[in-house]
Structure 1
Amino acid sequence: MRVIAGEAKGRPLKAVPGNQTRPTTDKVKEAIFSMIGPFFDGGWALDLFAGTGGLGIEAISRGMERAVFVDLERQSIDIIRKNVAAAHMEDRAEIYKNDARRAIKLLEKRNLAFRLVFLDPPYRMKDADVLMNELAERRLVEPEAIIMVEHESGYHYPEQTGAYIQLKRAEYGETTVSIYCYRPNDQDAGGA
């Protein structure tokens, strides 16, 4: 695993030992960023279920201003810290050991709004759409934010959920990537 493009291009990234995490392969990561970028002009990224932190690190390398990394596993948090340091991004990364739902509630208190969100939960979890809607309800996503959901190929998320519209869906063997855009109407955006 490595950083594919941008300022940290070529930097190697460590994997989490064991089989508890399923890191996004370089091939899938390259395909994801071709669909959502490939480069960015600032904004905040949220890497929920961060695992190795590879997606958030790639986003910073390609121009995101900052990224928040959240994972429940201590081993993953240690690897994310090492990978962020290897990419020289410590000043642009926040790393939290927490449950995804609890982290969402805590982030709401900071009045953050994310332009890019990575949801790569364990395949046994089938509620990324519920998490997406919770992010919207708590005003944690900017209008036109891009949300990437990585999931098992046999599972299909809806083409629309709340104010999210599916832009693309691509299968890579056992892995499927669904890309959504957050398009709130005036009422959802608080009349803005």
Structure 2
Amino acid sequence: MTATAYPLTWPQNMPRTKGRVSSRFKTGLNAAIKNVRGALTLFANDSGKAVKDIVISSNVSLGVDKPSDPGVAVWFTWDGLSVCIAVDRYPKVEDNLQAIYMIIDARRTELRHGGLNIVRATFTGFAALPAPARKSWQEVLRLTNVPGHNIDREMVEQAFRELAKGAHPDRGGSETAMAELNIARDEALKEL
């Protein structure tokens, strides 16, 4: 995955936070960016391994410093690992960025007390994993065990309507789940 500074590039293997909580951080946006960059430099020095290709990704732009999606993802390469630390727990971009600074600083503590292998194992959890294999439209619409495999357009539409009740963002689902359903329905109707 290619990370961009704007708009936010969120890692596909990391779920989004449903309810945000306020933080006690008192750090402004510029200071939080400086903290993250400084912590990555110190981490590289401590570990003896370069930190490269740093991208701080968010929805902050020149015209919008308080976006509706305050998530932040910091992407970088370290010791052959493509790493992404992403936080959207707090309602302010600067607080999420400061949380990432704290996470990086915690890796420095692990490095001092546990060594390089401990940190390598920890960063494996932050690895920027490829997206999981896509499901077939039959799997998404839950039409894999249809007796006789005589699936018709009406069955597809009925399965879609039923699943959309729970997948729609307005009904507790997500945009991702609804998009997956729409794509599955379109593929099914095209094939049938």
Place the TM-score, normalised by the shorter chain, in its bin: under 0.3
TM-score by length of 1: 0.25
Q: Could you state the TM-score of these two structures normalised by the residue count of structure 2?
A: 0.25
**Higher percent of residues as helix:** 2
